[in-house]
Structure 1
């Protein structure tokens, strides 16, 4: 009988240790999940901020200013415009000798 009580005591101790370990692991994983969720929210906010900034930078006035300042581009005028005409060669007519 003492041997059975000892085996049951060992089983209860191992089961208690396993329960403690499982609870610790679940708490650790929960903390990691919360950290990942916070980082996800932070990245989502950053993405939205960058999209707003991108839309603000893509306005026609900003693009025109950038083209003038950095690329030294200018608007076109009829004085500097060259028109190119494309003329096709006359089509060769096939003689139908049937």
Structure 2
């Protein structure tokens, strides 16, 4: 009878330790899920912001401004086309 009691006590202790471990692991995974969800929301917001910036940079006015300032381009005139001279 004493051996059976000892086995049952060890089984209860092992079961309790398993329960505590599983509860800890569940809390850890839940916290990690929340962290990853927040990171995903942050990345989605960044993607939307970058899309808006890309759209703003691709407007005709912005392209023309960059062409004039950085590339030194200017609108073509009939005089330049007729003479074939590059300015």
TM-score by length of structure 1 reads 0.80
Higher helix share: 2
Counterparts in 2 of 1:1-98, with a 5 A limit? 1-81=1-81
The number of residue pairs the alignment matches comes to 82
RMSD: 1.0
Q: Gapped runs of 5+ residues in structure 1?
A: 83-98
Structure with higher Rg: it is 1
Moved runs in structure 1, 4+ residues, more than 4 A?
none
CA distance in 1 between partners of 2:45 and 2:81 (Å): 47
Question: Higher RCO, 1 or 2 (CA under 8 Å, sep at least 6)?
Answer: 2
Q: Gapped runs of 5+ residues in structure 2?
A: 83-87
